[in-house]
Amino acid sequence: MKRVIVGLSGGVDSSVAAYLLKEQGYEVIGLFMKNWHDDSVTISDECPWLDDSNDAMLVADKLGIPFQTVDLSEQYKERIVDYMFDEYQKGRTPNPDVLCNREIKFDVFMKIALDLGADYVATGHYCRKGVIEKDGNTIYQLLAGVDTNKDQSYFLCQLSQKQLEKALFPIGELTKPEVRNIATKLDLVTAEKKDSQGLCFIGKVRLPEFLQQKLKPKEGVIVEVSNELESYHLDVPEFDSKEKELEFLSKRHNYQLADGVVVGKHQGAHYFTKGQRKGLAVGGTVEPLFVIETDVEQNVIYTGQGKHHPGLLKTTLFITNDELHWVREDLALANGESMHVKARIRYRQTLENAIIYKVESGLFVEFENQQSAITEGQFVAWYLNEELVGSGVIS
């Protein structure tokens, strides 16, 4: 009998995942990951992880499976929290959920599970795993979940073949309402529980206050840039190679104070992210202001009115070689090669047509349509049909 260890998070998805595995005849063990101790930055007095671990325990009890808690807060702090501070300091916007899957659930947690004699690790993600044979090798596919509204393949875009080999996603064939329905029928305590928000497993954290622990506030100015700015309307020059054109199209706009007018003050450019609308506290504009660029060196935030401001829109982004990842290593492009794909730059974004180009220094992703707020530090993932084949950090 194969043994599966399920990461029980205290939510409805992992609860039903555990039930389905048991139905399929696996020996199932539930493990709750405790990733966070510091209650000084969570938003409410509730202690989310205590409630969650309690719910996870009740579910395990109801399903009649063994249950234990593992404390991974050391590793979480090192691999996720420190990385987040580091990225924000550089003026990039990290995605802790993608990282948490790569570094914690399918690495630290997976090692613990395998040490406990598990054949597989299962989570409550809305995605599916495919297996194909190619040139005598077994290859694992990461496929979108059947529920297009909840597809979470994006969060797993950094997984490797080795990690996928040992992973199971029992609810990937179901929709969210079906999952809730099963939980209700089983009378699980998590059946009606709201979906968790905030950092993976930390509960609701106030991001600015969380960041202020490490990144000190420092006052700077908010500049509003008109969409009539001359540099937005320059003709695109002729290029003698596709690579030079892509380089030009993917460049960050280099703003100066003279490009706009000062409309307010902020407490630190590193607390803000491109495309952000809340928290600027500047009124009196016809359309709401959006962050179009942050300059952490000069501590300036550049903003523009409305979500169609040219400062937000771009077709092309770049990934350096060391931040490029192929889930399907067998499909990795060689220098000079390109591939038509569907891609997204954030979770829940509809897949968009794009072409990826491999060059000496990395990989360009050129979208057919302009994308809003392509944000450095976030992940772009690309798909062939419903299979996620690769991803990278936007540089």
Domain range summary for the chain, segments of one domain joined by +: 3-212, 217-395
Do 362 and 395 meet the contact criterion of CB atoms below 8 Å apart? yes
- Contacts of residues 142-148 at CB distance under 8 Å and 24 or more positions apart, as own/partner, are 142/327, 142/387, 142/388, 143/172, 143/386, 143/387, 143/388, 144/383, 144/386, 144/387, 144/388, 145/169, 145/171, 145/172, 146/172, 146/173, 146/174, 146/175, 147/174, 147/175, 147/176
The pTM score is 0.93
pLDDT the model gives residue 210: 75
Query: Which residues contact residue 97 at a Cβ distance below 8 angstroms, ignoring those fewer than 6 apart?
Result: 155, 199, 200, 347
127 belongs to the catalytic site: no
- For domain 217-395, which CATH number applies: 2.40.30.10, 1.10.10.10, 3.40.50.1220, 3.20.20.120? 2.40.30.10
Distance between CA atoms of residues 142 and 168, nearest Å: 11
Using DSSP's 3-state secondary structure scheme, residue 389 falls into: strand
Distance between CA atoms of residues 35 and 21, nearest Å: 25
Q: What does the pLDDT look like over 86-130, one tens digit per residue?
A: 999 899 999 988 999 999 999 999 999 999 999 999 999 999 999
Do 249 and 357 meet the contact criterion of CB atoms below 8 Å apart? no
Say which of 47, 127, 157, 200 is annotated catalytic: 200
The DSSP letter of residue 60 is H
Question: Which H or E element spans position 262?
Answer: strand 260-266
Do 30 and 56 meet the contact criterion of CB atoms below 8 Å apart? yes
Do 380 and 391 meet the contact criterion of CB atoms below 8 Å apart? yes
Following DSSP, what letter does each residue of 146-198 receive, concatenated?
S-TTT--GGGGTT--HHHHHTEE-TTTTS-HHHHHHHHHHTT-TTTTPPPP-S
Q: What does the pLDDT look like over 318-347, one tens digit per residue?
A: 999 999 999 999 999 999 999 999 999 999
pLDDT the model gives residue 189: 94
- For domain 3-212, which CATH number applies: 3.30.56.10, 3.30.390.50, 3.10.20.30, 3.40.50.620? 3.40.50.620
Query: Which residues contact residue 297 at a Cβ distance below 8 angstroms, ignoring those fewer than 6 apart?
Result: 91
Give the closest residue to 353 by CA, choosing from 384, 332, 308, 328. 384
Distance between CA atoms of residues 60 and 14, nearest Å: 11
Using DSSP's 3-state secondary structure scheme, residue 141 falls into: strand
Distance between CA atoms of residues 300 and 302, nearest Å: 6
List per-residue pLDDT tens for the chain, 395 residues long. 999 999 999 999 999 999 999 999 999 999 999 887 665 555 555 566 788 899 999 999 999 999 999 999 899 989 988 898 899 989 999 998 899 999 999 999 999 999 999 999 999 999 999 999 999 999 999 999 999 999 999 999 999 999 999 999 999 999 999 999 999 999 999 999 887 654 544 445 666 677 777 888 899 999 999 999 999 998 889 999 999 999 999 999 999 999 999 999 999 999 899 999 988 989 889 999 999 999 999 999 999 999 999 999 999 999 999 999 999 999 999 999 999 999 999 999 999 999 999 999 999 999 999 999 999 999 999 999 999 999 999 99
Distance between CA atoms of residues 64 and 178, nearest Å: 22
Beta bridge partners of 173: none
Say which of 47, 100, 127, 157 is annotated catalytic: 100
Using DSSP's 3-state secondary structure scheme, residue 254 falls into: coil
pLDDT the model gives residue 201: 43
Following DSSP, what letter does each residue of 291-322 receive, concatenated?
EEEEETTTTEEEEEESTT-GGGEEEEEEEEGG
Give the closest residue to 354 by CA, choosing from 341, 364, 344. 341
Do 253 and 293 meet the contact criterion of CB atoms below 8 Å apart? yes
Distance between CA atoms of residues 21 and 4, nearest Å: 8
